[in-house]
Amino acid sequence: MNLANKAVFFLRGIASFVSQEPREANTEGGIFPAIFGTFILTLLMSVAVMPFGVLAAIYLREYARQNWFTQTVRISINNLAGVPSIVFGVFGLGFLVYFTGSTIDKLFFSNSLPAPTFGTGGILWAALTLALMTVPVVIVATEEALAAVPRGAREGSLALGGSKWQTIYRVVIPAAAPGIMTGLVLAMARGAGEVAPLMLVGVVKLAPALPVDGLFPFLHLDRKFMHLGFHIYDLGFQSPDSDAAQPMVFATTLFLIALVVLLNLGAIAIRERLRRKYAVGAF
Amino acid sequence: MQWGLFSQGFVMTQNTETASSEDIVVNASELNFFYGDHHALHSINMQIPRRKCTAFIGPSGCGKSTFLRCINRMNDLVDGTRMEGSLLLDTMELNSETVDVIALRRRVGMVFQKSNPFPKSIYENVIYGLRIAGVRNRALLDETVERCLQKAALWNEVKDRLHTSALKLSGGQMQRLCIARCIAVDPEVILMDEPCSALDPRATSSIEDLVDELSQEFTIVIVTHNMQQAARISDKAAFFYEGHLVEFGDTEQMFRKPANQQTQDYITGRFS
């Protein structure tokens, strides 16, 4: 093989690694379902954590009276950020899967019982568990961003007859957007690489189908899914022939790191754009 | 009068006899103001005439900005403040729980010490007040932008870049944009809190000309630390000291022959 052939072989290998399904108990083939699962999971988590965290921060900073109660809430949020992630997994399993999931099954999917639909781990519960885990990061970052909006910007809007909400919506949130994005970046970076809580709420070593496909309703929130972080753990430490799986472990690890870096770079780019667009107080 | 003000030796001097015949727009009587326990304004009595420029002068911390911010209830933003007495805008009592502050602030505009354009285009800055009031008529918005920028003497400088960011303007232009933004909602009274203190002399003089021009049409209340400025642009002047209104009257008379010794000392710079 000459150099060109080698390069083609190499690139083809990479392409099949990221685009194919795993074979031979995950020790051969690609990691596409794990990439896809990680991506959808992070996306769902962001969709869940963003409005919840931002609204909570807006309430705490702009509307709530600053007294011992809000101070207690704030301290609790900060402490929540330090709770070990497996604890969130246990909470997700107990509250989301067993309690909420079984209730949904009883109410809406009673004809398929005793086989659970939402009463077992799935991508929705995993995304919500991660959202709970990362919401303190978003709240803290958003609160700081809101506090940093200069007083003059608010007063300018209020003095023109703006209501409190109009001022927050039109002036304060755009000015705080870069800081809010920073919070989301941190949340995503933490969420995308997390494995421990997922093991309790729906990640599997081999999922029969992707969480998104061509069948109605296209996004299957109840399905179990594969995840890069869990894939690494499973290949390296749970596989019957871990020596054979070693190259896969390293390649997947590299890929996961690259993915997290890429996510962060993308979010930083968005943040910079917002910062340029909404820079306040350039006097 | 449980505050014992007269015992402190401050005597309000009204050196004009024509006050009653003038058209009064803001009327403060026995107005007291508190930041928590701090008594910031002591029994202020003042009648601000319509379509005139009234200047507030006095050393820092004397209460002139506080009084200014009473007129559009901007002090509401500070926790623990309290107003006592009466402050009328035409016939509306401002010291009342039932005042619609949003409607009030449309009638009483404000220009700040530090110009604070929004991080939006020049066009969007001018029509901000109309937008939040729900105006959607494109032609009306366009017309307002041109009229207000022209009134603020900014139109010729920015007419070709209305849709570029307002933050690219110079300091003086930004302050004139804030004035344009303020008159776009057609207020009756415009409050200016040291609008020139961060500007160079040239930008200052353009703002002064503008204030002079606008006082034909609007009631202007301006806080300033610059005695010459107050003398140049105002029709009426009020001297505040330590929360008391020491002297209030026609600018010309006050600067030529102040009735109060403290006023004279302050104006001439012999103040300690």
For residue B125, tell me if it sits in a domain.
no
Q: What are phi and psi of A71, to 5 degrees?
A: -65, -40
| Min Cα–Cα distance to chain B from A264, Å | 26
How far apart, in Å, are the Cα atoms of B95 and each of B88, B100, B240, B243, B271?
A: 8, 11, 21, 18, 34
ipTM computed for the complex: 0.83
Whole-angstrom distance, CA of residue A32 vs CA of residue B114: 55
For residue A4, tell me if it sits in a domain.
no
Whole-angstrom distance, CA of residue A250 vs CA of residue B130: 60
Q: Is B117 on the interface with A (CB under 8 A)?
A: yes
- Chain B neighbours among A 142-171 (CB < 8 Å)? 150, 152-163, 166, 170-171
Backbone torsion region of residue B61, taken as left when φ is above 0, otherwise alpha when ψ lies between -120 and 50, otherwise beta? left
Beta bridge partners of B191: B110, B221
For residue B107, tell me if it sits in a domain.
yes
- Give chain A's domain count: 1
For residue A211, tell me if it sits in a domain.
yes
Q: Please determine, for residue A116, whether its predicted confidence score (pLDDT) is greater than 60.
A: yes
Beta bridge partners of B244: B42, B241
Q: Is B177 on the interface with A (CB under 8 A)?
A: no
Whole-angstrom distance, CA of residue A133 vs CA of residue A53: 11
- Give chain B's domain count: 1
Q: Which residue in B has a C-alpha nearest to residue A153's C-alpha?
A: B116
CB atoms within 10 A of CB A192: 22
Tell me the chain B residues in contact with residue A279 when contact means C-beta distances shorter than 8 Å. Answer: 119, 167
| Min Cα–Cα distance to chain B from A43, Å | 30
Tell me the chain B residues in contact with residue A171 when contact means C-beta distances shorter than 8 Å. Answer: 118
CA neighbor of B83 nearest in space, from B138, B41, B146: B41
Q: Please determine, for residue A119, whether its predicted confidence score (pLDDT) is greater than 90.
A: no
Q: What are phi and psi of B87, to 5 degrees?
A: -135, 110
Residues A29-65 pLDDT 10s? 888 899 889 888 998 999 999 999 999 999 999 898 8
Residues B249-260 pLDDT 10s? 999 888 888 888
The residue written with tokens 């870049």 in the block is B161
Query: Is residue A54 exposed (0-12), middle (13-18) or buried (19+ Cβ within 10 Å)?
Result: buried
Q: Please determine, for residue B4, whether its predicted confidence score (pLDDT) is greater than 70.
A: no
For residue A10, tell me if it sits in a domain.
no
- Closest Cβ–Cβ partner in B119, B129, B198 for A160: B129
The residue written with tokens 């400025």 in the block is B229
Q: Please determine, for residue B10, whether its predicted confidence score (pLDDT) is greater than 80.
A: no
Mean pLDDT of the residues in chain B:
86
Contacts of B24 (CB under 8 A, 6+ apart): B47, B48, B49, B50
CB within 8 Å: A158 and B116:
no
Strand intervals (E) in A222-274: none
Beta bridge partners of B32: B84
CB within 8 Å: A170 and B119:
no
For residue B174, tell me if it sits in a domain.
no
The helix or strand, by DSSP H or E, that contains position B8, with its residue range, turns out to be: none
For residue A56, tell me if it sits in a domain.
yes
Provide the domain limits for residue A109: 36-282
Q: Is B166 on the interface with A (CB under 8 A)?
A: no
Residues A160-205 pLDDT 10s? 988 999 999 999 998 888 888 888 888 888 888 889 999 999 888 8
CB within 8 Å: A161 and B132:
yes
CB within 8 Å: A156 and B116:
yes
| Min Cα–Cα distance to chain B from A164, Å | 9
Tell me the chain A residues in contact with residue B114 when contact means C-beta distances shorter than 8 Å. Answer: 152, 283
| Min Cα–Cα distance to chain A from B114, Å | 7
β-bridge pairing B24-35 and B189-193: unpaired
For residue B168, tell me if it sits in a domain.
no
CB within 8 Å: B171 and A158:
no
For residue B160, tell me if it sits in a domain.
no
Provide the domain limits for residue B200: 2-114+190-267
For residue A30, tell me if it sits in a domain.
no
Q: Which residue in B has a C-alpha nearest to residue A66's C-alpha?
A: B79
Whole-angstrom distance, CA of residue B116 vs CA of residue B121: 13
CB within 8 Å: B132 and A157:
yes
Q: Please determine, for residue B181, whether its predicted confidence score (pLDDT) is greater than 70.
A: yes
Q: Please determine, for residue A18, whether its predicted confidence score (pLDDT) is greater than 70.
A: yes
For residue A76, tell me if it sits in a domain.
yes
Q: Is B103 on the interface with A (CB under 8 A)?
A: yes
Q: Please determine, for residue B20, whether its predicted confidence score (pLDDT) is greater than 70.
A: no
For position A60, which CATH number holds?
A: 1.10.3720.10
Sign of the C-alpha dihedral computed for residues B84, B89, B91 and B97 taken in this order? negative
pLDDT confidence bin for B76, thresholds 50/70/90:
confident
CB within 8 Å: A152 and B116:
yes
User: pLDDT value at position B12?
Assistant: 54
| Min Cα–Cα distance to chain A from B106, Å | 5
Share of chain A above pLDDT 70, in %: 98
A140-154, A214-228, B115-129: least confidently modelled range: A214-228
User: Residue B192 in contact with residue B111, Cβ under 8 Å?
Assistant: yes
Residues B114-166 pLDDT 10s? 888 988 899 999 999 999 988 899 999 999 999 999 988 899 999 899 999 88
Token readout for A232 is 């690494």
3-state secondary structure of B111: strand
User: Residue A278 in contact with residue A177, Cβ under 8 Å?
Assistant: yes
For residue B81, tell me if it sits in a domain.
yes
What would the mean pLDDT of A145-165 be, rounded to a whole number? 90
For residue A209, tell me if it sits in a domain.
yes
Tell me the chain A residues in contact with residue B72 when contact means C-beta distances shorter than 8 Å. Answer: 159
- Chain A neighbours among B 221-240 (CB < 8 Å)? none
User: pLDDT value at position B13?
Assistant: 53
CB atoms within 10 A of CB B15: 16
Q: Which residue in A has a C-alpha nearest to residue B168's C-alpha?
A: A282
pLDDT confidence bin for A90, thresholds 50/70/90:
very high
For residue A18, tell me if it sits in a domain.
no
CB within 8 Å: A161 and B171:
no
The helix or strand, by DSSP H or E, that contains position A201, with its residue range, turns out to be: helix A198-201
User: Residue A78 in contact with residue A163, Cβ under 8 Å?
Assistant: no
For position B254, which CATH number holds?
A: 3.40.50.300
